[in-house]
Structure 1
Amino acid sequence: MNSGDSSNKEESCLLHSDLREKKDSESNSVVIENQSVKLLYKVSDRPALQSTLFFAFQNTLLALPWNLTLVILVAEVICARDDAELKAKLLSTTILLSGLTTLIQVTFGVRMPVYQGPTTAYIIPLLVITNLEEWKCNSDQNSFLNNTGVNQSFAHLNNTKEHIRETLIYPRFEILSGSLIAAGCIHAFLGLTGMVGYLMRFIGPITVIPTILLVALAVFKMLIAILVGWGIAAIFTSAGVLSNDKTQKQYEARTDARSFVVETTPWFYLPYPGQFGGIGFNSGIFVAYLTATFTSVVDSIADYYACAKMSHIPPPPVHAVNRGISVEGIMCAVSGIFGTGHGTTTFGSHIGCIGITRVASRFVYQVFALMLIICAIVGKFAAVFITIPYPVLGGVQVLGFGMFIGLIMSNVQYIDINSSRNLAIIGIAIMIGLMIPYWASNNMDTIKTGISELDGFLKMILSNPNLSGGFTACFLDNTVPGTMEERGLVGWATGGREEASEEPIGNIEDTAEIYEIPALTRLLEKIPFSRFIPFSPTFRRQKQQ
């Protein structure tokens, strides 16, 4: 065994703890230990075919609702709320990118059983955009998008769906795509250069808690609006208040107005780059996406460690984390090329699913990714999901985000909750993250520099709760005096233990070799300079020897 492997075994004790209490006779203190149940299938196992398909399908059902939620939010931003055909294409694209990213991540990236889906961090820029005057949608612009085209005349080009898409929807797609590509490149740069490790020296639980909590609160507001709006529409539809005449404008408010989508959508649709137009750019949107990038990086790293703990494997080594962040960044840029309007990141809900099913097989997640790709190509499948009533979707997501907020707040366990310093920083950051965007949304006219591009840039910055709250938390956490233990940096790195040596490694069911790519590792071991490549499996190995 080389010294790199022994180092990984030493690191493995940083995350696994027992849930059994025992009395320390010398210090008379209570120590928490962990007696986790053994996994049914560990990371390196390959279950039987029928079991693999069952567990993969289970993950597929868990992933699809959130894909649809992001599609709906993107459609709101680009004024395609009632363009069900376009939303079906966008959903296919989102599912395809989720499947491709998951497959690449599990096979070549961090090589853990993680699902890469449309990230919540990128929702904030989308919500902020809708508050800008130049991005507000006129309800009359959607009047033709919700019809089959049978009852309307195509004599005037201005009344056609395609014209509305070309003049209104696609230009917005182009701006989102270009800004996302630029942010994705920076995301990948952090992983490819190994800068993630330096970034994490300044970011801890005190920064993560208010930053991601503000994301969840903003999304909750949108989900509740969807739930109430469609609930009222469903009641009016059932009561016969809304006309069933397709020529009437009120017909568009019926919950069954989009049933034609399943019939008109082709059986197969293969998303392709540039399907929604070319590439544009907006500095304000780019900064908003860049903020989402840093939030996504922090969230993903925390998820990697949580997944390692849940999967009974050693904590991910530096090279695996760097590869994982690199893959996320590259695929975020690819998502921009395909026109999804959002990036991808690791999903915590699927990590929790590992704890419930006790299935951590990497092979299961590879099959799961292939299922997503197949679902994306079958156009009818996406069309059926587009017709799901929003109250059903909203109810599922309210439950999911309730769990998400609880997971965020669990980071409090790593910090000194009795410290007035920590409580003040978290409270101030959350208040700033709520106050500044609220002021900005109600005083848009006061921001006038004489340069329209700069005005839009400042409005995007001030309207972003993620940026204002996260920056405040990070700045105060790194400037107000406090020990590493008080800030939670030690507890975060050691899984809650004060000393790594206290952690038993009996729960480890796989070695650190699972993070390596066998054929590539053997090749790189023959190349001396590979130890200087941050994402190489041999990174720093020879130096340690």
Structure 2
Amino acid sequence: MKENNAKSRTKPDNTKIIYGVEDVPPYHMIFFFGLQQAIMCIGGTLSLPFLLSQLLCAGNQDDVRAKLLSLTLFMSGLATVVQCFLGVRLPIIQGGSHTFIPPIVAMMTIQGSIILASITQVLVGTLGLAGFLLKFIGPLTIAPAISLIGLSLVEIVSDFCEPQWGISLATVCLIIIFSSVLNKVNVPTPAYNKHHGCHIATFPLFQLLPIALSVGIVWTLCFVLTESNVLPTNSSMPAYVARTDSKLSVVSNAPWFDFPLPCSAAGYVGMLAATISSMMESIGDYFAAGRLSHAPLPPAHALNRGIAFEGISSIISGILGAGHATTSYSTNIGVIAITKIASRAVYIMAGFIMIVCGTVGKVGAVLAIIPNPIIGGALLIGLALVVSVGISVLSYCDMSSMRNITILGMAMFVGLMVPQWLADNPEKVDTGSTDVDQVIRVLFGTASFTGGIIGFLLDNIIPGTIEERGIEKWTCKASDTEEFTQCSEEELKLYEYPIVTRYIRKINVCSYFPLSPTFNKTIDCKCCQRKDREYSLPDSPKEAFELSVTINDDSGKGDQK
């Protein structure tokens, strides 16, 4: 672990990040860390090709499913590499977005619609609109948005676990034991270096690879239970999917090599609604990834790049005919809390692994045959941590305030209630326009969007001081000392491009470009500013320090009056 991780020294040992965002683990371990992340996104990635094949009336055609699976894995890997290297530059896995399934159901052609909607997303990022929203977003918006991402996926996780709860619980228990009980146990392993030659070194195996170890052990257990016929051999029984041979046809039907090639814009409005909902989730994921990585909150230019490059990846996905756009995967963000690995290099490696899985069909098919209950157990842990991260954001707020308690309760309750009501009563939404109906169903059928919007509106409408709302701590993060400000300025370099940023700084016009690391000209709207909010969100730790000084000076003047 490098010295720049020393910033965690004031935190308890169990919260320390072993590999920070810019740290690079040993080269011989990066592959295994990346594979662990690839395994965690398999659940969401695999379900999309099966759903799309059903929508394309090709549910029984294995070649169509295999093609869609290859495309999905390839695009997930490509989007991950682009996002980590050029986008928000935080440890984030990109994958196929389920948000686009509802509008796909309602239309006959989807390729052009995905491309057009993704172009709109690129414009939102390049025009700086994502960064502009930061002026109005505080903990009471982010907390419900992040928490509801995990809570809204409870049904999907239970579907994975339901066929064989014992297998799922075994996976959960092993992950907890390895990451929380045996995390300080170092395992003797053979090692070699130039100074000591061949020798025995200790390695924190359980801390760094808890998910890969758990999946491997339970997968082996499933193999034993399969060979001994303890698990049912009748494919009509739910527990059949826990057998290791239940999905072997995926391997046999997968092509050895499959390179994606490109092939009406109807339904643009429906896809645009899905894009807006996806952007809301992604912004929440960016904040969650930064918080779990012990990194500074992403500045405006990083958010703009993240949204823009997510849109670019979705355009490529549409051109290749994958049938879906790409978005950030919350589950993989939760893994950071388990493994304490936030290295960008690991996530880029995971992206390359998925690209290989997408182009070499047999390799991807091996990951696809992991029994569903094992995937369900891993997802349960990951998404539970995402919910916890959302709740932890509330530490910036005054939660003894009835105002804040009311806003949070309304955001969480409405965020769960409205999507459930829309799922049970889709026919009740009837405005007379099919496009408008589809927009309403897609936007408000997404829990994180609905809860986030409720929190956003109430937090900006109901009067409250910046201290009460958590805005001061959220933006300044205790930056009331010069030491912290200098430290944060150094840490913020992780959001900049290596090498080229120093040349970009010499071009003054780049400070007006929302995707540039030197961007500092935020969009301002005087009519939207509330009277009790005299301070806008700082774009750098230096501005945050100046803001905190201004706030303290104003408070002192108020006391004198």
Q: TM-score, normalised by structure 2?
A: 0.68
Residue of structure 1 aligned with 2:516, choices 527, 531, 536: 536
| 1:284 and 1:458 in contact (8 A); partners too | no
| 1:52 and 1:367 in contact (8 A); partners too | no
Give the structure 2 partner of residue 377 of structure 1: 359
**Matched letter for residue 211 of structure 1:** A
Q: 1:306, CA displacement in angstroms? A: 4.8
Matched, 1:206 2:120: no
Taking structure 1 as reference, are residues 68 and 93 closer, same or farther at Cα in structure 2, changes over 3 Å only? farther
Matched, 1:345 2:325: no
Give the structure 1 partner of residue 262 of structure 2: 273
Deviations 1:435-464 (A, max 9, x none): 323333333344444444444444444534
| 2:122 and 2:308 in contact (8 A); partners too | yes
**Matched letter for residue 278 of structure 2:** A
Give the structure 2 partner of residue 118 of structure 1: 95
Paired residues, number: 454
Output the CA distance in 2 between the equivalents of 1:109 and 1:181: 19
| 2:117 and 2:271 in contact (8 A); partners too | no
| 1:305 and 1:316 in contact (8 A); partners too | no
Taking structure 1 as reference, are residues 519 and 397 closer, same or farther at Cα in structure 2, changes over 3 Å only? closer
| 1:84 and 1:386 in contact (8 A); partners too | no
Give the structure 2 partner of residue 99 of structure 1: 77
Give the structure 1 partner of residue 310 of structure 2: 328
Unaligned runs of 5+ in 2: 168-221, 522-541, 543-561
Q: 1:416, CA displacement in angstroms? A: 1.0
1:424-503 matches, within 5 Å, as 424-495=406-477, 497=478, 499-501=479-481
Residue of structure 2 aligned with 1:419, choices 396, 401, 411: 401
**Matched letter for residue 481 of structure 2:** S
**Matched letter for residue 529 of structure 1:** V
Unaligned runs of 5+ in 1: 1-14, 21-32, 136-170, 245-249
Output the CA distance in 2 between the equivalents of 1:507 and 1:387: 46
Quick one: percent identity of the two aligned structures?
29
Deviations 1:345-389 (A, max 9, x none): 2757458648955674x5555444333322322100122222222
1:88-167 matches, within 5 Å, as 88-112=66-90, 114-118=91-95, 122-124=97-99, 126=101
Q: 1:231, CA displacement in angstroms? A: 6.4
Taking structure 1 as reference, are residues 289 and 503 closer, same or farther at Cα in structure 2, changes over 3 Å only? same
SS in 2 for 1:400: helix
| 1:101 and 1:331 in contact (8 A); partners too | yes
Give the structure 2 partner of residue 225 of structure 1: 159
| 1:17 and 1:503 in contact (8 A); partners too | no
Output the CA distance in 2 between the equivalents of 1:507 and 1:520: 22
Give the structure 1 partner of residue 279 of structure 2: 293
Output the CA distance in 2 between the equivalents of 1:290 and 1:359: 27
Taking structure 1 as reference, are residues 509 and 479 closer, same or farther at Cα in structure 2, changes over 3 Å only? closer
Using the TM superposition, name which of 382-391 and 410-419 deviates more: 382-391
| 1:74 and 1:341 in contact (8 A); partners too | no
**Matched letter for residue 94 of structure 2:** G
Taking structure 1 as reference, are residues 368 and 393 closer, same or farther at Cα in structure 2, changes over 3 Å only? closer
| 2:247 and 2:369 in contact (8 A); partners too | yes
Q: 1:218, CA displacement in angstroms? A: 2.1
The RMSD of aligned alpha carbons is 4.2
Taking structure 1 as reference, are residues 329 and 34 closer, same or farther at Cα in structure 2, changes over 3 Å only? farther
Output the CA distance in 1 between the equivalents of 2:16 and 2:411: 40
1:232-247 matches, within 5 Å, as none
Q: 1:115, CA displacement in angstroms? A: 3.0
Residue of structure 1 aligned with 2:42, choices 38, 45, 67: 67
| 1:105 and 1:111 in contact (8 A); partners too | yes
**Matched letter for residue 324 of structure 2:** G
**Matched letter for residue 326 of structure 1:** A
Output the CA distance in 2 between the equivalents of 1:60 and 1:328: 22
**Matched letter for residue 433 of structure 1:** G
Deviations 1:240-275 (A, max 9, x none): 97757xxxxx5999534542221222111222334x
| 1:206 and 1:425 in contact (8 A); partners too | yes
Give the structure 2 partner of residue 263 of structure 1: 252
**Matched letter for residue 414 of structure 1:** Y
Q: TM-score, normalised by structure 1?
A: 0.70
